[in-house]
A and B are shown apart, each in its own frame.
Chain A
Amino acid sequence: AQRVTQPEKLLSVFKGAPVELKCNYSYSGSPELFWYVQYSRQRLQLLLRHISRESIKGFTADLNKGETSFHLKKPFAQEEDSAMYYCALRNQAGTALIFGKGTTLSVSS
Chain B
Amino acid sequence: NAGVTQTPKFRILKIGQSMTLQCTQDMNHNYMYWYRQDPGMGLKLIYYSVGAGITDKGEVPNGYNVSRSTTEDFPLRLELAAPSQTSVYFCASSYTGGGDTEAFFGQGTRLTVV
Residues of chain A touching chain B, judged by Cβ–Cβ distance below 8 Å, are 4, 6, 9, 32, 36, 43-46, 49, 51-52, 86, 90, 93-102
Contact = CB atoms under 8 A, between A and B. Distances in A.
A47 B13 CA distance: 34
B42 A95 contact: no
A95 B103 contact: no
A63 to B, nearest CB: 13
Interface string B64-107: 00000000000000000000000000101000011110111111
Contact of B108 (A43, A94, A99, A100): A43
B40 interface: yes
Contact of A86 (B43, B48, B58, B97): B43
Given A45-B105, A95-B50, A51 B100 contact: yes
Contacts of A98: 45
Nearest to A93: B97
Nearest to B96: A94
Contact of A94 (B35, B92, B98, B103): B98
B41 interface: yes
